[in-house]
A and B are shown apart, each in its own frame.
Chain A
């Protein structure tokens, strides 16, 4: 956009056309006070706090030229003959803005007097006190006394619950509508609104359950007063008493930047920390309110050892000794192949790296994984390392010219912030195509939605490719590609009509999606749980699509995989994956058959998800479980090791866009539970080294295990792991000015997220980022669309899954109960009503669950939410499971 030059308080300013006066003034450090305006929200001009004098050149109607005065300068006229809200009109050339005239100051003081007239002034007990724009602006611009009668103040019942997590104090509300606009425009959950009018105007929740949004906490940040407070933080602390520790959320692969606000080593609240590359200034409620688990009274505090069939407390020395010796014994007796390890994909890179080192290097086992080995979980996907979004990707800058293909994913449930990021791209003019077998919230906002038949995802992905090839939509990149023949051959065997028919999607829809993607300047493919469960063929096909369209190897183009856990990317990079050995799914038969004899499980709970896994675990000769709670798996262990949580340790995490980010220790572990990586080191040190023959120096029990702090591990990672050389702690700490904060911004946007002083992290390069890289298409197969018998049962991720993270959380009432979702047609055929119990039978097993009915679901499709109380492994056979569903007798 062209630039516009204007004068603000005597200073000449040049800003992009379309900028409003408030933002133009901020760029030259002139403060225009605002309440309803927020740089992230659409301006509404309601609060009238930002009134200024705006003078524009008078235009001669005949010549359309500025009228010149005697001095030869343009004659200025006060716009509309009165003050203008600076948040609304865009700047124009020759404009002169005055923000400190008598008239302006009288108006500012007047609006503050008005806003305070019915305000309860209960700052001493208000959570917002200390970071409240109303307090701040009153001190700066307001009257010092009130002329409004105390007795005349309007009263409302003191706080009412707006939902499970948010309270509303209508007396403090200044009716700025920031919360409503956030919900309507940013979150896309229009659940808040206004009721009544005039002085009785009030915020209400319009949804059932009330305030039904996964982003509700953000409204407490942008509320410029203490009207919205969180159930999680109410009356916990004054904001100036807290110590803010920069951390990273590990609940999902977004990796939102957070701060843990601590007082006396207790968590007071969680706030988002701005990072334009990741979460802007937002986070989701799971990240904000789902961080109470660390304070749970059920935390494991001391090691446990099984004695006479029972787990009893033991000292660290004893436990570590036992673990080291038993693992070494098994290795020596049965060979390294008989050992296996599982580590959770929300552990830090440091943990995962040392876990790999322990299992693979020290114990020699090739059997590693970060999954629990039940049907329907994600395949290990290396494509993002090769073709992930290029270095420098910033979704916040994308809009027009960008096309995103969201394939087999439900961002709202799997990686909530992506819903906001994608809505932002749409709002800025981008194109989003959603491909999924069931409805998702994103699809309502998307440019187009392709409802694929379950099991025919590959047909649809190939159809997209076929359109690109047949229409030669983008060939610039094709010359750099090898092996296009195999793809052309397989695509040559089918017509688009055949593939479209198999996928159950109209050809025109497929063509529109393919063309939008191919022709866009930036193209991103986001694929999630459903796609990943479909196996590597599908993700290879998606990668081929990106390659053919040249949408790899540069910023803002490439793949993003929504994996489970906050650090699956890191787990794969750190080598916590089968290294020529068994995968998690192969562990259980091997353990049952007695070929796997010892296992080390850190942070995962397979026993809860599969009876077969539980039985297999029970068959092991030695099982070490390292966790924060006594999980179902831990109950089967021979040794249980308690560990530190995210709060109690330093570490780095790699998000879905390969951004490595650092999280800091917020407090010491209350019972001295060590960080996972420390435990791995101590176990390694407890393993007696097999002294090679002829070497008399046997005292060095564990060579290469001398890490003192997490950064020692990180240093080794940056030396040894491909791509991580750029991600040393120093580079991770580089900050970048985000959403246009200016000096003095605290006065207006206080309480709105935290400025990022800890660094925005480093996006490590993908293989395609290398300009010399050559690319070859992956070989893909098309076995035809699976036409299973019975109802297609699809596992679906639910953010509120009732996992251990939810312990102690105010979100507890929102946890999704175990149930199955049926289509209206199937429910009618079976003769089942909402809440009634059905019996589900598959070749893997059976279960009885209450049914919900979704009128938007296609006949013959049922959804199985992956939540507490559902053992997916006992029911599923893959991404799509053929099921018989009947009334439970």
Chain B
């Protein structure tokens, strides 16, 4: 599949300085808003988004228009939340959007708010994105100045305020209900569902939450139409996706590609990843952020869309594609990833709080020459004691790296134990064995 000649989301690659409001407007910016407010009803906009088949880019891939339709009729106020907590390891596409193309996001938020009849929207920005948050705030201020926000937008009578809110640096606050708790000033921990946010979300009011990339697609759908949009991607995964490519590829970075692009192309094509460093072999590909199950070199022909990745036993997730070469130890990768989940566990539920801690303790010793006979069954038991039992998906995600590693590379665990027990017997001395060569 050839690379895009015109981007839908990363339009900063096509138009220099599109982050500048004037430049954005000169290049069709806020035209969708004008069209929507003048010619379309909120229901029209919702139908367009539904028909375009726009799927949520935050992880679950749920169709945005369908989600908007879950709002109970006649219950106001409603809130719209834009999720810019982007903390999934290997994921950095939202960051580029808010940094370089903030006005398109803002226009998307206004359109979505119009569609769902909401008058207050929040952008929840990851705490570490200080610069991006300032950029966003400036863009919001400019939008107010130009009358795209505030009362009586473009003379239509429609009214919307956008509030940019900075988080304090917790991955769990990207989870939709934890985000709401955090926004309400409480400790950032997920809530029981049901009730679902569309029914009772922020401050107990009906709430729609969407990812930055999801919302950034909306202006292009409204401006260029459903048919145009559907010329990209596959039947069930229409449009494009910005993949954050990282790891041992030659050209890491954000690449916006049509859904359905083969993974191999993403890694190897000159215009994308440009192949592996030093011509090394691919060992592990994590296709959708740390929460996605691992693929191996044998699976590079999978196409990058929701259906194909699910069929391959993993998921498209956040679109963070981490490509690791043969120099890495699967044991260490699992350790590093679960260390992340342990660090980010909110602590609310037992299996995640204690299970991640337990996993990391065992993985730590396996990685530092302290592995023991029996560690493998313990690891299997521990993640099985977590799997399906956690309060939210963070804990479930923590199961993924260790389960993938044990499934795909069991011998590496056995070897680590063998070396350690040999070492303990005196053959290798007492010290930890460096398993990682890069």
Contact = CB atoms under 8 A, between A and B. Distances in A.
Interface in A463-508: none
Contacts of B344: 197-198
B174 interface: no
Contacts of A198: 342-347, 353, 356-357
A193 B187 contact: yes
Contacts of B355: 114
Nearest to A148: B358
Given A48-B390, A117-B358, A199 B385 contact: no
7 contacts: A47-B349, A81-B388, A117-B357, A118-B354, A148-B358, A175-B353, A199-B357
Given A46-B391, A197-B344, 16 more contacts: A48-B350, A83-B388, A110-B351, A110-B384, A110-B385, A110-B386, A111-B351, A147-B374, A147-B378, A147-B381, A148-B358, A194-B187, A197-B172, A198-B342, A198-B344, A199-B357
Given A51-B389, A83-B389, A148-B358, A199 B353 contact: yes
Given A107-B385, A198-B343, A48 B349 contact: yes
Given A114-B351, A117-B358, A197 B391 contact: no
A201 B353 contact: yes
Given A110-B384, A114-B355, A197 B346 contact: yes
Interface string B6-19: 00000000000000
B389 A152 contact: no
Contacts of A152: 361
Given A107-B385, A111-B350, A197 B170 contact: yes
A106 B389 CA distance: 11
A88 B195 CA distance: 12
B353 A88 contact: no
A174 B350 contact: yes
Nearest to B348: A46
B354 A115 contact: yes
Nearest to A110: B385
Query: From DSSP, what is the main secondary structure of chain A's interface residues?
Result: loop
Nearest to B170: A197
Contact of B351 (A48, A88, A197): A48
A154 B389 CA distance: 23
Nearest to A109: B385
B398 to A, nearest CB: 11
A106 B384 contact: yes
B434 interface: no
Interface string A157-185: 00000000000000000110000000000
A106 B385 contact: yes
A193 B189 CA distance: 13
B361 A148 contact: yes
A150 to B, nearest CB: 11
Interface string B340-384: 001111111111011111100100000000000010001001001
Give the one of A83, A114, A115 with max B CB within 10 A.
A114
A713 B172 CA distance: 66
Interface in A103-121: 106-107, 109-111, 113-115, 117-118
Contacts of A83: 388-389
B94 to A, nearest CB: 23
A878 interface: no
Interface in B311-352: 342-351
Nearest to B396: A82
B381 A149 contact: no
Give the one of A45, A51, A174 with max B CB within 10 A.
A45
A115 B351 CA distance: 8
Interface in B374-418: 374, 378, 381, 384-386, 388-391
B192 interface: yes
A197 B385 contact: no
Nearest to B351: A48
Top 9 nearest A-B pairs by Cβ distance? A110-B385, A201-B347, A114-B354, A82-B388, A198-B345, A152-B361, A198-B347, A199-B357, A197-B347
Interface in A389-407: none
A463 B375 CA distance: 77
Contacts of B385: 106-107, 109-111, 113-114
A46 B350 contact: yes
B347 A200 contact: yes
A175 B348 CA distance: 7
Contacts of B374: 147
A194 B192 CA distance: 18
A154 to B, nearest CB: 7
Interface residues of A, number: 37
A107 B382 CA distance: 10
A44 interface: yes
Contacts of A147: 374, 378, 381
A111 to B, nearest CB: 5
Nearest to A113: B385
Interface in A29-66: 43-49, 51
A781 to B, nearest CB: 48
Contacts of A148: 358, 361
Contact of A107 (B170, B354, B358, B389): B389
A111 B389 contact: yes
Interface in A735-783: none
A114 B389 CA distance: 12
A812 to B, nearest CB: 34
A44 B353 contact: no
A129 to B, nearest CB: 21
Contacts of B357: 117-118, 154, 198-199
Interface string A299-341: 0000000000000000000000000000000000000000000
A81 B396 CA distance: 14
Nearest to B355: A114
Contacts of B388: 81-83
A43 B391 CA distance: 13
A115 B350 contact: yes
Interface string B174-186: 0000000000000
Contacts of A149: 361
Contacts of A48: 349-351, 389-391
A114 B187 contact: no
A574 to B, nearest CB: 52
Contacts of A88: 192
Contacts of A46: 348-350, 391
Give the one of B170, B172, B391 with max A CB within 10 A.
B391
A117 B354 contact: yes
A152 B361 CA distance: 7
A51 B192 CA distance: 15
B342 A199 contact: yes
Nearest to A44: B192
Nearest to A152: B361
A831 B139 CA distance: 50
B69 to A, nearest CB: 16
B399 to A, nearest CB: 12
Contacts of B356: 198
Contacts of A175: 347-348, 350, 353
Give the one of B343, B344, B350, B357 with max A CB within 10 A.
B350
A88 B344 CA distance: 25
Interface in A69-105: 81-83, 88
Contacts of B361: 148-149, 152
Contacts of A47: 349-350
Contacts of A109: 385
B33 to A, nearest CB: 36
A194 B384 CA distance: 28
Give the one of B343, B345, B351 with max A CB within 10 A.
B351
Contacts of B349: 45-48
A193 B170 CA distance: 18
Nearest to B345: A198
A353 B242 CA distance: 86
Contacts of A107: 385, 389
A77 to B, nearest CB: 15
B204 to A, nearest CB: 15
